[in-house]
Copies of this chain bind each other. A is one copy, B any other.
Amino acid sequence: MKTHMDLSKFYHYAFPMQAIIVTCNDEKGQTNPITIAWHSPISKNPPLYSISVAPSRYSHNLIEKSKEFVINFIPFSLVEKVHFCGSYSGRKIDKINQSGLTLDDSEKVKTKYIKECFAHFECKLHNMIVLGDHTLFVGEIVNILADEDAFIDDKLSKKMTPCYYIGDCVYTTIKNIRKKI
């Protein structure tokens, strides 16, 4: 039996989606991490990845000015840090220091990556498009680093457990089953 759902909460029905942490730089080169659940690959060649950010967010202005960002994929064991980076504004606090996350230098962009994450897409801003009440930041991926054991034959290792957001402060992860068809 089908029932009507609340249109204003539509994105809840598309969850769980992987919660990633995007890092970006302020004008002094200090790193701000923001948790993003709305993101997707959008082109193979060139390799483009989109993230949706509301204009009110501190990171919106930072990415617009610095024209780059890094996408960091984080394990479920660090879910509290994911939630922390999505719950506070970098305008008021230093989220890297307060979360205990640590940074390392990227290779092709100035923005640093988060060491505790297992994969990192270094992106240069390809374009930004206002769509409704969010901005779609389209990044061209110029370099990818990852933990040596995170992927096997370019597929996520069974032992890896990414972090998935369900909505309203609730998270889950994937099963380690793999069904090949």
A80 to B180, CA, bound (A): 10
Chain A contact residues: helix, strand, loop or mixed: strand
Q: Which residues of the partner chain B approach A119 to less than 8 Å between Cβ atoms? A: 5, 13
A24 within 8 A of partner (CB): no
* B5–A146 touching, CB < 8 Å: yes
Count identical subunits in the complex: 2
* A8–B52 touching, CB < 8 Å: no
* B144–A13 touching, CB < 8 Å: yes
A155 to B83, CA, bound (A): 17
A41 to B13, CA, bound (A): 10
Would you list which residues of chain A between 1 and 52 have a CB under 8 Å from chain B? 1-18, 38-50, 52
Q: Which residues of the partner chain B approach A2 to less than 8 Å between Cβ atoms? A: 104, 120, 145-148
A129 within 8 A of partner (CB): yes
Question: Which of these, B6, B121, B131, contacts A138 with CB under 8 Å?
Answer: B131
* A170–B175 touching, CB < 8 Å: no
Given A17-B18, A179-B79, the answer on whether A154 and B167 have CB atoms closer than 8 Å is yes
A89 within 8 A of partner (CB): no
Count residues of A near B (Cβ-Cβ below 8 Å).
83
Q: Which residues of the partner chain B approach A43 to less than 8 Å between Cβ atoms? A: 52, 131-134
Question: Which of these, B11, B141, B144, contacts A44 with CB under 8 Å?
Answer: B11
A58 within 8 A of partner (CB): no
Given A156-B166, A169-B181, A175-B172, the answer on whether A131 and B42 have CB atoms closer than 8 Å is yes
Q: Which A residues form the contact surface with B (CB < 8 A)?
A: 1-18, 38-50, 52, 71, 73, 76, 79-80, 83, 104, 119-121, 126-127, 129, 131-134, 136, 138, 141-148, 150-151, 153-156, 162, 164, 166-181
